[in-house]
Structure 1
């Protein structure tokens, strides 16, 4: 059920940091923060989908002023409760359209958050919104998966990614619409609870066209934050588009 906080209401925010604990490890966070700080230089950064501050807080700790946009007040409340969280300005709203009255050296979307926009039009609007916030020479950075369609045998639409005695998780794909969803089934006290969140998967070349429509151009694409080369075997990519000076 969609709440005012979107799909990340209080029930998700309360356990988000624990459920995504692997993404909070220093070996995951530090390379991302280092690259974003390098791109920000002396300027401010805009995080779309700032959530509980996994990237924003350590980036701010390096002296980069960070402003966030997020629909979920529950997630932002968790950010506010952390050391340094109250010093980060956050605009509550849809990051495809919400505006901040300033310009930024870098804007970024991490951990597949771009796919939370479930239509192509919304994803295009996001690129345009970011372009309007960037100063000339500024960069838009996106970390997102490469669709795992090669894991789908003929006639199958689901890809499991976690199976244990108490929790099952799987993605479903619709190849005709590029709609997908992540589904979680948790077993507790003999009862099963199901939670699902919709996404729209998107290809790197499609993102490049969205960037072009927004007046941005591809600057770099890597497999990860440590700048390993992006190849046909890469499961995700970190892409950087730049706003020209002219």
Structure 2
């Protein structure tokens, strides 16, 4: 069950960097930081769900002022404790609705975190919040997976994504409500421990409509941070919506 920090409390924060180690490699981080720094130009960047600073810290090291919004004090305390963490402004709150002072040339929400908003209304609010923070001509960037519904045969609602001798993990989908959950079963000293996290999956076209409701327009969509073409076989996308100038 979630604690006062939601599903990203102390028990998750203490092992987050290690459990997501593949996302902290230069191969995963550098292309994202390259694109975000380019979009920031000479302005400021706002990260929704800043967490432990996986992207905020290297982006700030490039000379881009970064502010982050996150509900989890446990996660952001680890960001603040890292080298350079003191330079990252942090506001504790729900990134779908929390406002911070000033405007930004880029706002971004990565690593499927849009799905942590478990209602369509909250996801729409997130786009509106991003648009409200952006300067004219500024961009909102979202990295998220494409729902894996093509892997669901009739009558099945679960898709495994990790199977090993020490545990397994799978996603479950409700195709009526677009609710999904990730489930983790881990064997520790011969005993099974179970965790699950709720999400709401969202389609690229649905995100485009949310952006239009917020006054943003699609500028680019790629399969990944290295700007590979997005195709019907892509399992994820990095999308950039722009706030019209003037």
Normalising by the smaller structure, the TM-score range is over 0.9
Runs of 4+ in structure 1 off by over 3 angstroms are none
Q: Distance in 1 between matches of 2:105 and 2:6?
A: 28
Where structure 2 has 5 or more consecutive residues not aligned to the other structure, the ranges are none
Superposition pairs of residues 77-92 of structure 1, within 5 angstroms: 77-92=77-92
The CA distance in 2 between the partners of 1:76 and 1:231, in whole Å, is 35
Deviation at 1:178, TM superposition (A): 0.2
The alignment of Structure 1 onto Structure 2 pairs a total of residues equal to 246
Looking at structure 2, the residues matched to 183 and 65 of structure 1 have their Cα atoms a distance apart, in angstroms, of: 36
Question: Does 1:18 find its partner at 2:18?
Answer: yes
In the alignment, the residues of structure 2 paired with residue 75 and residue 39 of structure 1 have an alpha-carbon distance, to the nearest angstrom, of 26
Residue 2 (structure 1) shift: 2.1
- Alpha-carbon displacement from aligned partner over 1:10-43 (angstroms, at most 9, x marks no partner): 0000000000000011001000000000000000
Which residue number in structure 1 is paired with residue 102 of structure 2?
A: 102
The SS at the match of 1:182 is: strand
1:243 corresponds to: 243
Cα distance in 1 between the residues matched to 2:29 and 2:151: 28
Of 66-75 and 80-89, deviating more is: 80-89
Aligned to 1:192: 192
Q: Give 1:72's aligned residue.
A: 72
User: Following the alignment from structure 1 to structure 2, what is the Cα–Cα distance between the partners of residues 175 and 243?
Assistant: 32
> How far does residue 199 in structure 1 lie from its aligned partner after superposition?
0.4
Q: Name the counterpart of 2:56.
A: 56
Match of 2:227 in 1: 227
Q: Deviations over 1:79-131 (max 9, x none)?
A: 01110012110000000000001100000000000000000000000000000
Q: CA deviation at 1:201?
A: 0.2
Structure 2 residue 171 is the aligned partner of structure 1 residue 171: yes
SS at match of 1:3: coil
Output the CA distance in 2 between the equivalents of 1:229 and 1:4.
40
Shift of 1:190: 1.1
Q: How far 1:231 moved relative to its partner? A: 0.4
Residue 73 of structure 1 and its aligned partner are, at CA, apart by 0.3
Whole-angstrom distance in 2 between the partners of 1:167 and 1:23: 20
Instruction: State whether structure 2 residue 31 is matched by structure 1 residue 31.
Output: yes
**What TM-score, normalized to structure 1?**
0.99
**Secondary structure at the residue paired with 1:194?**
strand
Cα-Cα RMSD? 0.5
* Distance in 2 separating the partners of 1:139 and 1:125: 16
CA distance in 1, matches of 2:17, 2:55: 12
Provide the C-alpha distance between the structure 1 equivalents of 2:68 and 2:78, rounded to a whole number of angstroms: 13
Q: Secondary structure at the match of 2:228?
A: coil
2:117 equivalent to 1:121? no
1:45 corresponds in structure 2 to 45
Q: What SS does the aligned partner of 1:172 have?
A: strand
